[in-house]
Chain A
Amino acid sequence: MKLAGTASLPAPPAEVWSLLTDPSRLSRLLPGCERLEPDGPERYKATVKFGIAAISGKYAGTLEFAHKKPPNSLILKIDGKGLPGFVKGEGRLELRAKAGDTEIAYNGEAQVGGLIASVGQRMLDAAARKIVHQFFEAAKAELASGKGAASEPSSLGQSHARGK
């Protein structure tokens, strides 16, 4: 599965960079992140509860930074497993200053396997886009509120629709 696009964040690249590479703040951006703790240089262990509406699952895995070129580009690697399946992905983020804001170009690939791959095909693309969208929305909120953001991990907002 390939994911590519751009997002605009209301802060200069240096600030965005520090947000993305600070695990205590990053954990608030990852949708459903319950835990993010160091596991080696540039590596973190994470547990994430992610879902859309009725479909949700818990995943445990690692998050890794690579090829950091502050404040302009980095590669983010994720490797997570849960009962619904596994996800392994790698994405490059490129930050560019744009009139006081930052334009982020992201380009990545993810491999998905297990249950969600065998029965969830038609929703995978949209689910991935949703995760990315939520990530950047959370980033915007975090940047807007500065360092005094709520300490609770972000949840899924309105996606509590009832499955019937």
Chain B
Amino acid sequence: MIPASFEYQAPKTLDEALRLVERHGDEAKLLAGGHSLLPLMKLRLATPRYVIDIGHLRGMSYIREENGQIAIGALTTHTEIEQSALLASKCPLLPETAAQIGDVQVRNRGTIGGSLAHADPGADYPAAILALDAEIIAANTSGTRTIPARDFFVDMLTTQLHPGEILTQIRIAPRRAQSGAAYEKLHQPASGFAIVGVAANVLLGEGGKTIEQAAIGITGLSARAFRAEAVERALSGKHISEKVIEDASRNGAEGVEPLSDLHASGEYRREMARVFTRRAVARAIVAARGGA
């Protein structure tokens, strides 16, 4: 449980961090909360030559309203998100998801930026971020750019972040009236990762009897988290009924190659995607109607 030797650097500003990251490229890893990187290093699965600690950078941990959006700093911890009053009222899906990550110790140290950049196939946030159509802000030495959540997750442990970029912020639109969301997760009992995790974000029509729009983010099922567009299409514009939800949920795993490992076969994951999509959508509808 002893990492290979490495050089530790603690830049004092984001600019300094960006310069270091650009200079060292492949040989460096960023350290924020450490709960993804350090286990890999202790197992010697990851052996970076440089560890650039950005965990103490000021001004990167916040949850605030800005220009009609909610902006969350990359270094905000899962616990801070879980306990945020602002998010509880304006974007409850995120605290609900954060509360189901790992355990207390992981939540106290892990950061949303770190988790998203690591893109573990069993991580929880990706499902929520996709269902919320969030924007991810990445900084590099030439400036910043905005990456839509839909494009962010490329493959297992692989995102759209280029070498030399640091994820600095996540932006989410506050919830609209008549909308509701829920995150349903089947967890792997040893690690707490999602075997399947479904975040459903629904916008109801007039009178709350139809689904105007649905966004479904699914994690754990395959190498990368994705939007279950087939489910979304099957729900959009429909009159709400158990059958509609049930039928739409059947498409949860459509077009996706499920992971298969010692904890869950592809067949089981596919079936659980259906079950948990149904549960998440049903609960999201209840939330949209004003029930808890």
Touch A–B, Cβ below 8 Å? yes
Docked complex Cα distance between A57 and B21 (Å)? 21
Partner of A127 from B43, B156, B162, B166 at Cβ < 8 Å: B156
Q: Does A150 contact B (CB under 8 A)?
A: no
B73 at the interface (CB under 8 A from A): no
What is the 8 Å Cβ interface bit string for chain A, positions 152-164, against chain B (1 contact, 0 not)? 0000001111111
Does A130 interact with chain B (Cβ within 8 Å)?
yes
Kindly state the separation between the CA atoms of A161 and B120 in the bound complex, as whole angstroms.
Answer: 11
B262 and A84 contacting across the interface, CB-CB below 8 Å:
no
Q: How far is the CA of A52 from the CA of B257 in the complex (A)?
A: 18
For A130, the chain B residues whose CB sits under 8 A away are 155-156, 223
Given contacts A55-B46, A126-B121, contact A163 B37 (CB under 8 A): yes
Q: Are B46 and A54 in contact (CB under 8 A)?
A: yes
Within 8 Å of chain A (Cβ to Cβ): is B33?
A: yes
Residues of B within 8 A of A158 (CB): 154, 158, 160, 162
Contact A115 B117 (CB under 8 A): no
Given A52-B158, A54-B40, A55-B40, also A164-B45 (CB < 8 A): no
Known A-B contacts A83-B44, A127-B156, A159-B155; the reply to A164 vs B111 at CB < 8 A is yes
Pick the residue among B117, B167, B259 that contacts A125 (CB under 8 A): B259
Query: Using a CB–CB distance below 8 Å, which chain A residues touch chain B?
Result: 52-57, 83-84, 115-116, 119-127, 129-130, 158-164
Given contacts A55-B40, A158-B154, A162-B167, 14 further A-B contacts (CB under 8 A): A53-B118, A55-B45, A55-B157, A83-B44, A84-B44, A122-B259, A122-B262, A126-B121, A126-B259, A159-B157, A161-B158, A161-B159, A162-B118, A164-B30
